[in-house]
Amino acid sequence: MAKKVAVFTGARAEYGLLHPLMIKLRRSSEFDLQLIVSGMHLSPRFGETWRVIEQDGFAIDAKVEMLLASDTACGIAKSMGVGTLGFADALERLRPDFLVILGDRFEALAVAQVAAVMRIPIVHLHGGEVTEGAYDDSIRHAITKLAHFHFVSCEAYRRRVIQLGEQPACVWNVGALGLENIRNIPRVPLETINQQLALNLCKPFFLVTYHPVTAADEDPGKTFGNILAALNEFPDHQVLFTYPNSDNGADQLIRLIEQYVTKQPGRAWAIPSLGLARYLSVVQESAAVIGNSSSGIIEVPSLGTTAVNVGVRQKGRLSADSVVHVGTRVADIKSGIQQALTTEAKQRARSAKNPYGEGDTSRKIMEVLCSLDPPDAKVFYDLALIQGGGV
């Protein structure tokens, strides 16, 4: 009998990463793919990207509404509570043999805690990473402790998951799923993207994505205002913004984006969600990717483009030499953009070695999933009691 594997997705970027694995699960006779969709996917403000999932040919088995109108910390916490109720109903009905969760968002924590209580084994992707500027960092480690099986993107992250007390035999370094998309998804010509989205984008241009900083002493509104001021120093470059994640403080950033775009007709545009193929294509055509998205750290280096990583949200994450890390002052950001536009930076971006693997991740995950049986009770792996290593 096929194993029932439920895949959870609550955000556009997360779905893009999971896409190649979902395709393999859907095609395999050994698995019955179940899809639980929630969070930003169901929100009109963030582009109702559940429609993209269905357009890609996936059947959605459960839609769980959870996002409240408030983007305050209290509102996000209440959204998690709403999600917990919905996820309990969905998992009770679907009863998967395994639940696949990627990453570190609050939606993921809500579904993970429900699965743990209902004794549904969790398969966690991208554990062990560090992002000191967001509470996602704590959420990621919390999901690690709720999960039974772990697929990580680097050897350093495998060691960290084991350090958290997880059994080494249940932690696999498979690389980052996002690199597989880069290798396998055809690019969309810029002319086609302009037609599809009613843009007039032409080179040179910047792609900008900035998310709220939720666990550090960095004022997101002030930092983003400084990014906008720095962009004004490059009037010959057009600007394409994508919306931030639905974290607390996102509404302020969206308002700033919309105000900037209104004041810069013909130079700046904002799109809630580009979609996976268009996003990869725009990154590859852009002069630089600016902001604090994890994509700038993980995927952008494999597309031959320089990323300017602003502020502390991604602090602690491994990155390629092609990523330019800058502070939050206007002068810092301007300097980082200038550096990204140099011939040396462009050459470095074309030859950068990405620490997140070679792009064969979903095959490696599938090989392990085929061998998995429902786990026994978790036993803490105490490094202090292990003689001679074993890691």
Name the strands in the sheet holding 62-64, side by side, starting at the edge strand that comes first in the sequence: 62-64, 31-38, 3-9, 98-102, 122-125, 149-152, 171-173
> Domain for residue 390, yes or no?
no
Q: Which domain holds residue 234?
A: 188-351
- pLDDT (tens digit per residue) in 156-185: 999 999 999 999 999 999 999 999 999 999
Place of tokens 């491994």: 318
Residues of 232-271 as b/e, b for ≥16 C-beta within 10 angstroms?
eebeebbbbbbbbbbbbbbbbbbebbeebbeebeebbbbb
> Domain for residue 143, yes or no?
yes
What is d(CA 54, CA 32) in angstroms, rounded to the nearest whole number? Answer: 17
Residue 45 or 233, more confident? 233
What is d(CA 312, CA 325) in angstroms, rounded to the nearest whole number? Answer: 9
Supply the pLDDT for residue 297.
Answer: 96
Q: Indicate the residue type of 376.
A: D
Q: What is the CATH number of the domain that holds 198?
A: 3.40.50.2000
**Residue 107 and residue 223 in one domain:** no
- pLDDT (tens digit per residue) in 338-361: 999 999 999 999 999 999 988 899
CA 300 to chain centre: 12
> Domain for residue 103, yes or no?
yes
> Domain for residue 76, yes or no?
yes
Provide the domain count of the chain: 2
> Domain for residue 34, yes or no?
yes
- pLDDT (tens digit per residue) in 109-133: 999 999 999 999 999 999 999 998 8
Supply the pLDDT for residue 207.
Answer: 98
